[in-house]
């Protein structure tokens, strides 16, 4: 089921990125479309999170089609009414996504609207009001009816509740505070990944008279959106990910302009060659980040190990702590007692009962100090076993990413995997951990001295989640 859900979402996001790429082709040419595909495919975060069931990635589908409509309005529209229709579609899609999925898109709606009013004197009556009212109505009907049903509370508008709590009441700062320049100096470079896109290609697209008008129609509202969002103290890269396809499209216009002139002067030839190498380096960096990021989900690995290794028994109760829930413990991984397939419907009742699992994710501090609370569980997935009250045995240890260290020539590397002592040592690790640690060590032997002249990046694994068994049950 998880593969199906994530596959559908990933395909929707892929389709929206391809659709925006076609608009880039119409606006800046076929060469720009090729560079857009190369830049976008070599970015790590967009590709890695495209199928993640976060509200941001559902909204990402709408924002990509909205930016496509915005770019098409200045590219393939032949009369004023056609322009208005595409601009209405842009604001309409962003409004729906903001109401249903992520309220920060209201700010992007505002910056695009303001830019259109200033630069094109767009009709408020013909464009802004119909798009706003239509998007608000459709969005509210969808979210209030559906979410009220599932949460059994009417009327319920989740995004308004989250916006009021985090923004108006200021509780977003409870999740951490970043400096005002975080988005521009940290998040955007990480999301774009390739330095050539923001240091070279985007400036070229803006300075070149042929690409400047259409580039600015995307660049101005997107940068203003990021700048205004920088005033909020709590910052995460996923809050501004909607700007990345647009910025990548602008960068592709600059790259196309450089590439088509590579035979005219040595400077353009050198710049074109640097663009090729930058894309190859980005693909290599994304591949390395993919391998490392796959080790950031010890909670999910612990859940799978528990289901695989626990002997058959009735009514298993499992507790997962905060770290386990943040690193892969989801409803998709739970074992259900109710039949989920046609075969399950035909199973005998006692076979269904044997698959009865109950999961608990309680975070109440007072309850976590109650010995009777812990006594009811058969197994616990815990980061710190000493906080689990009662008599417990560590039956399995799951490793996770423990950081990187740059090694200089002559500097010895340590063990890639931090050792676990005691009875749990024989149960530690896992196939994925062993493969990654062994593969990285093998690469070090091949590349460090012969290719990198003694330099290397050491990746360490450390114990993250312990699976505890209740000795009293």
Q: How far apart (Å, rounded) are the C-alpha atoms in residues 233 and 212? A: 33
- The alpha carbon of 473 is separated from its chain's Cα centroid by a whole number of angstroms, namely 40
DSSP code of residue 377? -
Q: What is the DSSP string of 276-336?
A: HHHHHHHHHHHHHHHHHHTTS-HHHHHHHHHHHHSPP-SSEEEEE-HHHHHTT--GGGPPP
- Other CB atoms within 10 Å distance of the CB of residue 324: 28
What pLDDT score does 425 carry? Answer: 45
Helix (H) or strand (E) holding 106: helix 105-119
Query: What tens digit of pLDDT does each residue of 212-223 get?
Result: 999 999 999 999
What pLDDT score does 461 carry? Answer: 83
Among positive and negative, which fits the CA dihedral 237, 243, 246, 252? negative
Residue 426 has pLDDT above 50, yes or no: no
Residue 93 has pLDDT above 50, yes or no: yes
pTM to 2 decimal places: 0.85
Q: How far apart (Å, rounded) are the C-alpha atoms in residues 432 and 412? A: 25
- Other CB atoms within 10 Å distance of the CB of residue 384: 9
Q: How far apart (Å, rounded) are the C-alpha atoms in residues 217 and 215? A: 5
Query: What tens digit of pLDDT does each residue of 369-390 get?
Result: 999 999 999 999 999 999 999 9
Residue 467 pairs with which residues in a beta bridge? 381, 396
Please state the length of the chain: 473
Among positive and negative, which fits the CA dihedral 40, 43, 45, 50? positive
Are residues 188 and 181 in contact, defined by beta-carbon separation less than 8 angstroms? no
Q: How far apart (Å, rounded) are the C-alpha atoms in residues 405 and 425? A: 25
Q: Copy the structure tokens of residue 403.
A: 């950081």
As a whole number, mean pLDDT of residues 434-441 equals 70
Virtual torsion, Cα 238, 240, 243, 245, nearest 10 deg: -10
Q: What percent of the chain has pLDDT over 70?
A: 90
Residue 35 has pLDDT above 50, yes or no: yes
Residue 397 pairs with which residues in a beta bridge? 428, 466
User: What is the chain's Cα-based Rg?
Assistant: 26
Beta strands 379-382 and 456-470, pairing class = antiparallel
Are residues 216 and 116 in contact, defined by beta-carbon separation less than 8 angstroms? no
HSE of 253, CA atoms in CB hemisphere, 13 A: 30
Beta strands 379-382 and 357-360, pairing class = unpaired
Query: What tens digit of pLDDT does each residue of 298-338 get?
Result: 999 999 999 888 776 778 899 999 999 999 998 888 886 55
Q: Write a three-state SS string for 119-157.
A: HCCCCHHHHHHHHHHHHHHHHHHHHHHHHHHHHCCCCCC
Query: What tens digit of pLDDT does each residue of 262-278 get?
Result: 999 999 999 999 999 99
202 vs 120: which has the higher pLDDT: 202
**Closest listed residue to residue 105, CA positions, set 68, 53, 156, 67:** 67
DSSP code of residue 419? -
Q: How far apart (Å, rounded) are the C-alpha atoms in residues 302 and 424? A: 14
**Closest listed residue to residue 300, CA positions, set 438, 133, 467:** 467
Residue 347 has pLDDT above 70, yes or no: no
As a whole number, mean pLDDT of residues 246-272 equals 96
């Amino acid at each position: 089921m998880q593969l199906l859900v994530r596959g559908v979402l990933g395909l929707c996001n892929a389709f929206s990125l391809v659709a925006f790429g076609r608009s880039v082709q119409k606006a800046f040419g076929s060469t720009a479309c090729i560079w857009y595909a190369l830049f976008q495919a070599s970015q790590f975060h967009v590709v890695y999170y495209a199928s993640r069931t976060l509200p941001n990635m559902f909204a990402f589908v709408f924002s990509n089609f909205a930016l496509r409509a915005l770019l098409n309005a200045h590219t393939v529209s032949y009369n004023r009414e056609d322009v208005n229709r595409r601009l209405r579609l842009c604001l309409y899609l962003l409004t729906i996504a903001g109401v249903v999925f992520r309220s920060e898109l209201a700010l992007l709606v505002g910056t695009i609207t303001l830019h259109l009013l200033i630069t094109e004197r767009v009709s408020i009556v013909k464009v802004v009001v119909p798009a706003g009212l239509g998007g608000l109505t459709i969005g509210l009907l969808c979210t209030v009816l559906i979410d009220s049903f599932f949460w059994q509370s009417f009327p319920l508008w989740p995004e308004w509740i989250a916006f009021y709590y985090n923004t108006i009441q200021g509780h977003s700062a409870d999740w951490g505070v970043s400096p005002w320049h975080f988005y521009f100096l940290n998040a955007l470079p990480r999301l774009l990944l390739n330095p050539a896109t923001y240091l070279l290609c985007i400036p070229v697209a803006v300075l070149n008279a042929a690409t400047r008008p259409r580039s600015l129609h995307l660049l101005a509202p997107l940068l203003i959106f990021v700048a205004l969002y920088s005033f909020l103290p709590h910052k995460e890269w996923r809050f501004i990910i909607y700007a990345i396809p647009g910025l990548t499209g602008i960068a592709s216009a600059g790259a196309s302009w450089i590439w088509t002139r590579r035979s005219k002067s040595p400077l353009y030839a050198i710049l074109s060659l640097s663009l090729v190498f930058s894309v190859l380096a980005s693909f290599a960096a994304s591949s390395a980040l993919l391998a490392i990021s796959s080790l950031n989900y010890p909670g999910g690995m612990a859940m799978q190990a528990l289901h695989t290794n626990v002997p058959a028994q009735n009514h298993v109760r499992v507790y997962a702590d905060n770290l386990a829930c943040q690193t892969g413990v989801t409803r998709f991984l739970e074992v259900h007692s109710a039949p989920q397939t046609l075969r399950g419907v035909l199973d005998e009742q006692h076979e269904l009962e044997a698959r009865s699992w109950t999961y608990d994710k309680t975070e109440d501090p007072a309850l976590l100090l109650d010995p009777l609370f812990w006594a009811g569980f058969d197994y616990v997935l815990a980061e710190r076993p000493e906080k689990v009250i009662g008599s417990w045995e560590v039956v399995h240890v799951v490793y996770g990413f423990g950081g990187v260290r740059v090694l200089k020539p002559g500097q010895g590397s340590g063990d890639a995997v931090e050792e676990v002592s005691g009875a749990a040592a024989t149960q530690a690790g896992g196939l994925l951990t062993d493969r990654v640690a062994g593969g990285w060590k093998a690469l070090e032997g091949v590349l460090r001295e012969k290719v990198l002249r003694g330099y290397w990046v050491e990746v360490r694994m450390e114990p993250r989640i312990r699976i505890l068994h209740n000795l009293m049950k």
